Amino acid sequence: MDAEFYTKLAAPAQTKIVLLVLDGLGGLPAEPGGKTELETAHTPNLDRLAAQSKLGLSQPAGPGVTVGSGPGHLALFGYDPIHYEIGRGALEALGVDFELGADDLAARGNFCTVDAQGCVTDRRAGRLPTEISRSLAEKLRTIRVPGVTFFVEPVKEHRFAFVARAEGLGDALSESDPLKTGVPTLPVRALNPESERAAAYVNAFIEQARLLLAKDSPANMITLRGFNKLPVLPSFSERYGLHAASIAVNGMYRGVSKLAGMDVVPLCGETIEAEFTTLEKYWQEYDFFYLHVKKTDTCGESGDFMGKAAVIEEVDRQIPRLMALQPDVVIVGGDHSSPAVLRSHSWHPVPTLLYSPYVLPDLIETFGERACARGSLGVFPATHILPLALANARRISKYGA
Amino acid sequence: MDAEFYTKLAAPAQTKIVLLVLDGLGGLPAEPGGKTELETAHTPNLDRLAAQSKLGLSQPAGPGVTVGSGPGHLALFGYDPIHYEIGRGALEALGVDFELGADDLAARGNFCTVDAQGCVTDRRAGRLPTEISRSLAEKLRTIRVPGVTFFVEPVKEHRFAFVARAEGLGDALSESDPLKTGVPTLPVRALNPESERAAAYVNAFIEQARLLLAKDSPANMITLRGFNKLPVLPSFSERYGLHAASIAVNGMYRGVSKLAGMDVVPLCGETIEAEFTTLEKYWQEYDFFYLHVKKTDTCGESGDFMGKAAVIEEVDRQIPRLMALQPDVVIVGGDHSSPAVLRSHSWHPVPTLLYSPYVLPDLIETFGERACARGSLGVFPATHILPLALANARRISKYGA
């Protein structure tokens, strides 16, 4: 997929495309010979849609590669996820609408609990209520270090976005989160000479934070990880001439879609139903809609097989509302697999459905991993999804005579 | 597909390969849930061949890309159609057997009708009979401009090939065809400094043509488009050691096969039946045969669903004659899809059949889009067709020890 080639062929049209992403959609049977979460779920509406669609299994970043949500989404948005590497820090800041600039070094922050010896006892400070997190962030904003400006933005529960702004900061830094309990947080180290000044600033910030929060049990310390600066991503809209809206509850997904040049529209609520209401509300204003459902992945990662199936059923009940809008192209897929049995993201290719009046249906009557494995899209790179959607939306002009 | 790699492995053999191209073969159902043109056609002979073949869907230039016949054929001939970009002008001139050279700037010409104000009223001058076109071309040949030599070759109906010969002409020129009626023809503009001299020559030609044709209603003006010079294409024969014959009625296809180094053999007639007679006639002389059927595409582009199915049936009736020649390898496919329902070329991958005594048949009993979607070739790049044909013809030697 050479994006420049497609950019040259992009043509305007009055059509509308919906990219419905069920995070971590792909799964595995709970026991040998069984059905996956998606195969278990009762999905009459998705099945009906599948029968009118082409099916396949999408691969975000090559065979055997388990991706995070960032690369998984970049692939769905048509960007080569190996070429465009985006760190979590940048995404976290973008996700809370922070205006990240070229001089900004971002990181993902956690409030955590440490004991008298400074050893971590809870990496998430008991999943601190967001309101408390907010007031602690106010405290952190008072930190001053000469030569640099810090920004702290609460995200959700124990999480916050951290940004250090100064000219010429490097972003090759080790993380302060030890990723386990019973050990102290780590000093941040520069992994190249250009990042030494950044490491000094960040360590100064962490030291002041330790003193400021000392009495704030359980959130008496912070960790920072995923340091990075913003990569330059060609705008999704400019590339393909699409006016694109992003409908997503969680920061990460709001962030990556904003990075791709989509408008992150205000939500009518945080439920799946409310996301579809948001879709209806903005239907006239945009021609590309990215709608993200998080809970499939949350259930997958926590090993909740039936919970994941239930979330899929919840999405299935919204499909008639989506189809009532008469979209020209619908893609239902995921950014990666998250089988409940693995309690984590996985490398399994992701069930994907491509609907449009111009696809030749595969005549397969269900939506599921095995159904998609028989689909004519085969196992295909996730970066192909956007070109196929554009073609079916009549937004790609002919190449050559 | 790295052509150089295959060139290194090419080995001689006494085998014969037939590449049967049904232009615009792929289709779509006329109504939801229906059959495509190919699925509708009664094709007992192609079905019997399919049962002994591998099936798949070929993609000329990547997912979602609709190609013109030029790139579509380059891919079938094993050339990367994105790397080798050929303009229509060069193909048009080649198609009428004009000996295009390195100093030649070619374009596709149309006789058209303009009103008293110079506005185009018919872009094709009522699809002028070819004989009239021929005598008008004679008139245009009298045009003289110092420093350049012009050539005008009638093609068919209102179409002619235009060539300007002079050293160092650029070919970055805008087109004079406004592509709609009710507006004047456009002056040709140089799109870079190197093409300014060419633009001046071409505009001088057009101006003289306007005066010469003023009284020749309905063909009282010309348009020129698709300006380009010949790209350098490595010879198909040299690349693979094949002595190749091209059997095609229309200029475009004669042109592109000649460009690839095939001999465009004289036809026994212009019907599909006559093309197969031509195949029989030259069977002993060549070891690779490209046989092109145009009418599938013509019907697709004009929205004639049943007409397209009938052309496929006409081809089907010739298959026993083809198989009686005992070819070692047969490919039946297309350069792109042209669903009647879309009345145009489309991005849909193209049904393809690969027959040889050495393929492991897919055991699918019909030839059609859905049958090919289940075939073991899957959705595959059209550039893979030639290497697969060569391998099955025992014309590729082992790589490595």
CATH architecture of B3-85+233-392: 3-Layer(aba) Sandwich (3.40)
* Residue B68 pLDDT level (bands cut at 50, 70, 90): confident
C-beta atoms of A392 and B64 within 8 A:
yes
End-to-end CA distance of chain B: 22
Residue A349 with chain B: CB contacts under 8 Å? none
pLDDT digits (tens, 9 = 90+) for B98-146: 877 778 999 999 999 999 999 999 999 998 999 999 999 999 999 999 9
Q: Find out if CATH 3.40.720.10 is the number for domain A3-86+233-392.
A: yes
Looking at the complex, does the CB of residue A376 fall below 8 Å from at least one CB of chain B?
yes
Q: How many residue pairs bridge chain A and chain B with CB atoms within 8 Å of each other?
A: 88
Write the DSSP symbol of residue B8: H
Q: Which residue of B has its CA nearest to A376?
A: B373
Give the model's pLDDT for residue A1.
52
Looking at the complex, does the CB of residue A4 fall below 8 Å from at least one CB of chain B?
no
Give me chain B's average pLDDT, please.
94
Give the model's pLDDT for residue B233.
81
Which is nearest to A8 in space by CA: A386, A401, A398, A351? A398
Give the model's pLDDT for residue B235.
84
User: What's the CA gap between B399 and B388, in Å, rounded?
Assistant: 15
pLDDT digits (tens, 9 = 90+) for B203-261: 999 999 999 999 998 999 999 999 998 777 888 888 888 999 999 998 778 888 888 88
Identify which of A2, A360, A390 has the shortest CB distance to residue B64.
Answer: A390
Min Cα–Cα distance to chain B from A393, Å: 10
Tokens of B56: 């798949």
ipTM of the complex: 0.80
Among the listed ranges A95-104, B148-157, B158-167, B186-195, which one has the minimum average pLDDT value?
A95-104
Contact A47, A372 (CB under 8 A): no
The 3-class secondary structure across chain A, one letter per residue, is: CCHHHHHHHECCCCCCEEEEEECCEECCCCCCCCCCHHHHCCCHHHHHHHHCEEEEEEECCCCCCCCCHHHHHHHHCCCCCCCCCCCHHHHHHHHCCCCCCCCEEEEEEEEEEECCCCEEEECCCCCCCHHHHHHHHHHHCCCCECCEEEEEEEEECCEEEEEEECCCCCCCECCCCCCCCCCECCCCCECCHHHHHHHHHHHHHHHHHHHHHCCCCCCCEEEEEEEECCCCCCCHHHHHCCCEEEECCCHHHHHHHHHCCCEECCCCCCCHHHHHHHHHHHCCCCCEEEEEECHHHHHHHCCCHHHHHHHHHHHHHHHHHHHHCCCCEEEEECCCECCCCCCCCECCCEEEEEECCCCCCCCCCCCCHHHHHCCCCEEEEHHHHHHHHHHHCCCECCECC
User: What's the CA gap between A17 and A391, in Å, rounded?
Assistant: 11
Looking at the complex, does the CB of residue B62 fall below 8 Å from at least one CB of chain A?
yes
C-beta atoms of A391 and B342 within 8 A:
no
Residue A380 with chain B: CB contacts under 8 Å? 63, 379
Which is nearest to A185 in space by CA: A101, A112, A286? A112
Contact B81, B74 (CB under 8 A): yes
Give the model's pLDDT for residue A227.
95
Give the model's pLDDT for residue A139.
96
Give the model's pLDDT for residue A258.
85
Looking at the complex, does the CB of residue B374 fall below 8 Å from at least one CB of chain A?
yes
pLDDT digits (tens, 9 = 90+) for B301-324: 999 999 999 999 999 999 999 999
Q: Where are the domains of chain A?
A: 3-86+233-392, 91-228
* Residue B8 pLDDT level (bands cut at 50, 70, 90): confident
Give the model's pLDDT for residue A357.
95
Looking at the complex, does the CB of residue A378 fall below 8 Å from at least one CB of chain B?
yes
Order of strands, sheet of A288-293, starting from the edge strand that comes earlier in the sequence:
A263-264, A244-247, A288-293, A17-22, A329-333, A350-355, A53-59, A378-381
C-beta atoms of A401 and B85 within 8 A:
no
Give the model's pLDDT for residue B30.
95
C-beta atoms of B71 and A400 within 8 A:
yes
Looking at the complex, does the CB of residue B29 fall below 8 Å from at least one CB of chain A?
yes
- Cα torsion B380, B385, B387, B392: sign: positive
Q: Show which of residues 204-263 on chain B sit within 8 Å of chain A, judged by CB atoms.
A: 226, 252
C-beta atoms of B63 and A400 within 8 A:
no
Identify which of B28, B82, B344 has the shortest CB distance to residue A360.
Answer: B28
Looking at the complex, does the CB of residue A395 fall below 8 Å from at least one CB of chain B?
no
Using 50 as the pLDDT threshold, list the residues of chain A that sit under it. Answer: none
* Confidence check: pLDDT of B364 > 80: yes
Looking at the complex, does the CB of residue B68 fall below 8 Å from at least one CB of chain A?
yes
